[in-house]
Structure 1
Amino acid sequence: MENSYQALNDILVVLFNDIMDIEQDAIITGEFRDITNNDMHIIEAVGMDEPQNMSSIAKKLSVTMGTLTISMNNLVKKGYVVRQRSEEDRRVVYILLTEKGVRAYRHHEVFHHEMIEAVVKNLDGEEKGILIKSLVRLKKFFLDYKKKHEGKESR
């Protein structure tokens, strides 16, 4: 039991410490050197399906509107997204990816596809199910922990 605890602890600590740096090195390359990993995740949240308004993007990313506005202004300047007013209600502003934004989205998508393929390529169906169940529990732990501790850091 102690060996498996230590192995899991070591794996998770290394993953959490390195994942953003590794992703940054993998996807912020070539044409996309002018943005950050955070910018790439905003592009991912904007997505390619339906136009998104700022509040829905902020909610997806769990950031404030002020934080998102600063980042969005930079992405507009760099040509990754555009703002477009709704025809039905001119007060509503939608965010859409430009062609450059779509290329960045696809580039990020390829990295994530390769990452998932590397994780599951030698797993059978039962092992994939166990992995998914375990990661769902880990995600639930973090969500519960966040809820439990929200607001405590400001006290």
Structure 2
Amino acid sequence: MGWLHWERFMCNTDCKTDPDNCISERLFMQMADVMVKEGWKDAGYEYVCIDDCWPSHQRDAQGRLQADPVRFPSGIKKLADYVHSKGLKLGIYADLGSKTCGGFPGSLGYHEIDAQTFADWGVDLLKYDGCYLDWKLIGEGYMNMSKALNKTGKSILYSCEWPCMLELCYA
């Protein structure tokens, strides 16, 4: 069990005018503190999960995903270290398409580099969505990320988010 920001904070990236409700390292550190202080950890909650809208809009020069530098100035590795210091685990969101549902860089064509990046950061769970791609490629895409995660040698819980594609769900 764990805490996921989406239902409350959605894709609020406006930390300038709404610093208490935006997707930022501050928010996730606060949630880790609350989970420990208020007994959620003792009740069995173990994951602090970052959903969509955390990355920068551009990959770095080596093609790696990177956290938005304004909202996550210390980076995901430091955030993972903080969450781990509280006895909790860190989850993160990515997408198998060309973009995430929120329009940030997706993992299409980057499965191995993204899996290794998450492993290097110390991520413990990957929530993997399926926006911005041909729906016929979903199964293959999820399998490719599974293989890439296994190749890292780090144990990362893998949660596939099977999207409701408009042409399938509303036909």
Q: Does TM, normalized by the shorter one, top 0.5? A: no
Max radius of gyration: which structure? 1
TM-score of the superposed pair, with normalisation by structure 2: 0.27
Higher-strand-fraction structure:
2
Higher-helix-fraction structure:
1
